[in-house]
Amino acid sequence: MARSTTSFGLQATPKHPVSLTVNGDEHDLLIEPRKTLLAVLRDTIGLTGTKEGCSTGDCGACTVIVDGKAVTSCMVLGVTVSGKEITTIEGLASDGELHPIQQAFIDTGGYQCGFCTPGFIMASKVLVDENPDRTEEEFRHALGGNICRCTGYTKILEAVLQAAEEIRTTS
């Protein structure tokens, strides 16, 4: 790894080569170890659908899917996910068709300001795909890591239940 020297004569920490598959596209990047996955997605790749809320893992706004699992991307160093497959809100729709969970949020009005919505959708997407038979109470509990300051959660829960119902009946 080549060490570079900044114009101030300080030694810069070496960047690391990182290969990511984001929404099916491969990205070969050179990134500083301190960059979070969230920063890589938003600032390096330019996918700003994923939001930065609290940046301490408490609010869930930055939720993305890494190798099939929902994670808070603000707590993940970009260098640690090299070789992994990442899905963000931009990657949910396929061939112009929304994922049932996206359509359900629109149908029920499960958003107001929309800032928490990508995180809620990514967290819910894994939940409805892996087990659409969860009860309302189970969905509510499983979404406890996502915070919304607008909706009071009622419409969000309606959206999740609608998507679960649709996935149940079509599979």
Partner 1 sequence: MKNFEYFEPTTLAEASRLFAQEHAQLLAGGTDLVIGMKAYTETPQSVISLQKIPDLAGITTDADNSITIGTMTKVREVELSKDIQQYHTALAEGASEIGSIQIRNLATIGGNIAHASPAADTVAGLLVADAQVNIIGADDERTVPINELFTGPGQTVLKPGEIITQFHLPSPASGSHYIKHKIREVMDLAFIGVASAVNLQNGVIKDARIGLAAVAPTPIRATEAENLLKGKIPTPELLQQAGEAAAAATSPISDLRCSAEHRKEMVDVLTRRTLQYALDRATR
Count CB atoms within 10 A of the CB of residue 77.
17
| Residue 97 C-beta: closest distance to partner 1, Å | 26
DSSP 118-166: HHHHHHHHHHHHH-TT--HHHHHHHTTT---SSS-SHHHHHHHHHHHHH
Amino acid occupying residue 43 = D
- d(Cα 46, Cα 40) in Å, to the nearest integer? 8
Binding mask 60-99 for partner 1 (x = CB under 8 A): x--x-----xxxx-xxxx-xx-------------------
- The closest of 1, 85, 92 to 37, measured between CA atoms, is 85
Contact between 134 and partner 1 per CB under 8 A = no
Provide, rounded to whole angstroms, the least separation between the CB of residue 28 and partner 1.
Answer: 17
10-29 mask for partner 1 (x: CB under 8 A)?
Answer: --xxx-x-------------
Where does this chain bind partner 1 (CB under 8 A)? 12-14, 16, 32-34, 36, 55-58, 60, 63, 69-72, 74-77, 79-80, 123, 141-142, 144-146
